[in-house]
Structure 1
């Protein structure tokens, strides 16, 4: 990784509670729709407060201290990362051999497919948008409802999900991988201490090792490192507004989000919200309507927005979140400045040798055939 603030690595709540990685298995439902708030008048502004210094602003985005019970970050090996890259692009991990991790989380398109809802097995769709896989390893949890605590746990979910990759069970996964000699050799190399290295858990472990490499440094990182000319005047105005308006209450830390759960419609009910959010994972009524706050890194490239992909453009998303999360009706100029700042969070994709599809080994006579049922 190319910046210390992203170790251990890391779209909206204050600027969006639901702008994570991977797909969702809930059945399809109609996307939430909300009318964009009308721009506030430009007159009668309160007196401007003293601008925050770059050092004060940078404080919001420093790495947060880990919980006392946090486990140390896994020590990934090159063999695990290489295997994980292959498995990330491997369609034979799906029942019909036509869906891979990259199908919904395209690495050349900033880790998303830019669809409201992704296509899974037999064209099925869930009810939640597929968020970006980039910069996800430092999130407090994975999936919109946070039901997976780690990338390793998350990576297993879509493979066995009947809506997504639809493998019937772990036995089918192991049979598929074990039938291909190159995979059995690579699993032995990646997990040399295991008597039976070809397992679903080890496949997920390798995919997670690969995903920890997927970070996107941006001009904003240069600004935080002291190169204050890295952001334009308008982007710096947007950053000031982002902080003083209260967006950093939820969108903080190295990934500018991903550190907490927040209720969508915190101060004003969000219209048409049917998804129970984190309640699905915890069954705690206090979590109803809460979602994991998404990262805002690359947010200009990762629409459509919200947990259901119902908001198509960033200016509308900014207005809606200011209204429903902060009770603010923004002026056109404020929206323009905030959007300019958010665009500065677009980073550099990793080199092609890391994110392009690698050659995959051929199937054998023992490899289970595609199953479209």
Structure 2
């Protein structure tokens, strides 16, 4: 068995061949040990418990429209906790009338498990990420850090919440604000049926879901979509074998990481998204150009692995994706500003 796993891992990660590989097994008896080499359940992670006062403050900030220039949007507007951390729109409306973001808003669920943030990976963690949209004129439209700090210093509630979380010595700072939002987001990591499967409950997945997991591994999708978040750990070229826009029918060609680095070798590089809750977070890709998950899976097979997935394989993989669905408690979704 060990020899089999070693050979399989080498063939997927280093062989870089395009043909699909078959996992030979009787009723998927070898699927579980194979899966546990590529994926880890959330329960296996050594996660630090966020400070309760910082989480409470972060939740208030996450829902507060005062974090936008004209008070029209909050973090929750684009990352709606009632719809799995997204707004299900191609591009999210900004604070100023008529403005929209330039890329699709990814889910905030499980984002703290990712090695980098934003589609171009320019932020290291959720704390750093939290400040980006606030100062973006197409998003929250706050002119500068001090404008927001001055605004919150006038709110008695925030005087108390920041003091509880960060002490009494001028606690209302932009750095503490983004730190608190990050603390709240680090609590948004619900477990799924797939986690139960990885923990040893092999009946947690249906036969079709196991078939889809098998196809997902055999087709080489785990080259990028592995680990506890099933992605989110690397930047990768979107369109390894073909121009992505010819398959997604994107209206504009986004150069990705190249816009930051200006390196020709990094054109069309984007952060590999995590796949948790993927059936709930349409539309797909950095530009939200594809609304249908089956279509997105088929496109990924062709662009990234140069394989033509059959309709049956796509159907099975999408069924497996259903086991990645997980939700947060209803109480967490409720805005602290509503009765």
TM-score by length of structure 2 reads: 0.86
Contact 1:124/1:164 (<8 A) preserved: yes
Higher helix share: 2
Contact 2:22/2:218 (<8 A) preserved: no
Distance 1:101 1:266, change over 3 A: same
Partner of 1:37: none
Contact 2:20/2:307 (<8 A) preserved: no
Partner of 1:150: 125
Map 1:102-117; keep pairs closer than 5 Å: 102-117=76-91
Q: 1:53 aligns with which of 9, 21, 31?
A: 31
Partner of 1:89: 63
Partner of 1:167: 142
- Structure with larger RCO (C-alpha < 8 A, sep 6+): 1
Q: What whole-Å deviation, never above 9, does each CA across 1:172-201 have from its counterpart, x for those lacking one? A: 101110011110111011001x62210111
Map 1:1-373; keep pairs closer than 5 Å: 48-51=22-25, 52-62=30-40, 76-121=50-95, 122-192=97-167, 195-270=169-244, 271=246, 274-347=253-326, 349-359=327-337
In structure 1, distance between residues paired with 2:288 and 2:20:
35
Q: What whole-Å deviation, never above 9, does each CA across 1:173-231 have from its counterpart, x for those lacking one? A: 01110011110111011001x62210111110000000000012111111101111111
Contact 1:305/1:317 (<8 A) preserved: yes
SS at match of 2:270: strand
Q: What whole-Å deviation, never above 9, does each CA across 1:44-90 have from its counterpart, x for those lacking one? A: x99954134301111101389xxxxxxx9776311000000000000
Contact 2:240/2:304 (<8 A) preserved: yes
Partner of 2:10: none
Partner of 2:8: none
Q: What whole-Å deviation, never above 9, does each CA across 1:134-168 have from its counterpart, x for those lacking one? A: 00002111000011111111101111110001011
- Report how far residue 360 of structure 1 moved: 7.2
Instruction: Note the residue ranges of structure 1 that are not aligned, 5 or more in a row.
Output: 1-13, 15-44, 65-71, 362-373
In structure 2, distance between residues paired with 1:152 and 1:346:
25
SS at match of 2:222: helix
- Report how far residue 246 of structure 1 moved: 0.1
In structure 1, distance between residues paired with 2:284 and 2:139:
20
SS at match of 1:229: coil
| Range moving further from structure 2, 276-285 or 196-205 | 276-285
In structure 2, distance between residues paired with 1:360 and 1:163:
27
Contact 1:216/1:350 (<8 A) preserved: yes
In structure 2, distance between residues paired with 1:124 and 1:161:
11
CA RMSD across the alignment: 2.2
Q: What whole-Å deviation, never above 9, does each CA across 1:291-314 have from its counterpart, x for those lacking one? A: 000010000000000000000110
Distance 1:160 1:73, change over 3 A: farther
